[in-house]
Amino acid sequence: MKLMSFHLVPYTEPPKDFRAAGLSVWIDINTNNDQIRCNSRRTSEGSMPMLWGSDARLQDRWCPRPMAPEPRTAAADRSPDRAAPIGQQNKQFSMERNVTDPETLTVDLNGYTTRVWRKGTGPVLGYIAGFGGLPRWMPFLDKLARSRTVIVPSVPGFPGGDRGHSILDSHLDWMLAMRALLDKSGLAGADLAGSSVGASLIADVAALWPESVGKLALIAPFGLFDEKDPPTDPWAQRADRVPGLLCADPEVYKAMKAAPDGANSIEWPIEQVRASEAAARIFWPLGNTRIEKRLGLIKAPTLLLWGEQDQIMPRSYADVFAQGIAGPTQVQTIAGAGHLAELDKPTEVARAILDFLG
């Protein structure tokens, strides 16, 4: 039997050949002389993080199956002890925020089992998570579910999204995957909300396939870059700075990402880091997808929400989105909130979205 060592190292301390990767942490998994590391490769789209290793059998160690409850259509080969039940995973967050669990379904996306959460009654509203994804259900979604049927598909590579990001190399690949994911999740033509990286993804879907969405609610979307007012690069930060950059109250983000009782101590942090890698594959470098070129194709009525204390995306970008989108737009600032405003101020953000959707 080989012994494995697992290290999460701050961004400022990776080996020289890994500094170009730009991730806030890097992975060095050793089994005697075998290694898997976070590296970078060159493609026509630029430098993107990838994984390599001398032992391909270790791929599951780096990209394990999503730590979600056993779904209705779970793959037959999934080990029963890979994750704690969702009620146990949500225990800490539920006690602090009075959150109840959603129904968990799965869909197949490009051969990968992908988690879809569903809860509530009323007209359907889809939600695509922001930076870091959703390792657990959160209060914001519970508030939306009081008057809407909330459907939350996992972005490839995010918690619940398995290793689906590993085969998506271009922005077009991501767009086709997101369109298929929305359709398979029952969100064709539905109203959509998204945060951060998720907001940018659904904005692009709305631009490319206008008939596939209803109304949009976008919380500080990625996709723009202005060298006179650049966004903060979340991948080029020390790991201990990330919670304070993403939320006005860093403890809220830490609680969302905290390992639940019974979680695998090795796989849980790997899954969280993988979400950062997946986002980097979409938005490398600096979150810039040149979405400004496509905003004029968006016909859907759009609400733009920005945290007053957002340290990632400049407030001026809200105006660029509002002026560029062809459909009617509204811009609203959420007091006391950071980049992931739905974590800092779940009640205020949910109310703004529900009022806009009508």
Q: What is the pLDDT of residues 290-303, one digit of tens each?
A: 999 999 999 999 99
pLDDT at residue number 66: 34
- 328, amino acid identity: P
Q: Concatenate the DSSP letters of all residues of 310-338 into one string.
A: -SSS-THHHHHHHHH-SS-EEEEEETT--
- 283, amino acid identity: F
- Residue 148 CA to residue 125 CA, distance in Å, equals 6
pLDDT at residue number 61: 27
Q: Span 52-63, mean pLDDT?
A: 31
- Residue 111 CA to residue 170 CA, distance in Å, equals 18
Query: How is domain 65-357 classified at the CATH fold level?
Result: Rossmann fold (3.40.50)
- Which structure tokens are listed for 228? 């006179």
Q: List the beta bridge partners of residue 105.
A: 116
- The owner of tokens 């689906």 is 164
Of 113, 152, 101, the C-alpha closest to 129 is 152
Of 239, 313, 222, the C-alpha closest to 273 is 239
* 285 upstream amide cis, omega within 30 of 0: yes
21 vs 227, higher pLDDT: 227
Give me the torsion for CA of 339, 341, 342, 343, rounded to 10°: 80
Q: Give the CA radius of gyration of the chain.
A: 19
Model confidence band, residue 87 (pLDDT cutoffs 50, 70, 90): very low
Q: Span 188-202, mean pLDDT?
A: 98
CB 53 within 8 A of CB 36: yes
Q: Is the pLDDT of residue 89 over 80?
A: no
- Which structure tokens are listed for 253? 């983000």
Sheet with 103-109, strands from edge to edge, namely: 103-109, 112-119, 149-153, 124-128, 191-195, 216-219, 302-307, 329-334
Of 189, 182, 192, 191, the C-alpha closest to 212 is 189
Q: Span 310-327, mean pLDDT?
A: 98
Q: What is the pLDDT of residues 2-18, one digit of tens each?
A: 444 333 333 333 433 33
What share of the chain in percent tops pLDDT 70? 73
Q: Span 99-112, mean pLDDT?
A: 93
- Residue 57 CA to residue 48 CA, distance in Å, equals 22
b/e map of 252-285 (b: 16 or more CB within 10 Å)? bbebbbebbeebbeebbbbbbbbbbbbbbbbbbe
- Which structure tokens are listed for 41? 């490769």
Residues of the chain with CATH 3.40.50.1820: 65-357
Q: What is the pLDDT of residues 25-39, one digit of tens each?
A: 333 333 333 333 333
- Residue 314 CA to residue 306 CA, distance in Å, equals 9
Q: Span 320-343, mean pLDDT?
A: 98
- Which structure tokens are listed for 95? 């006690």
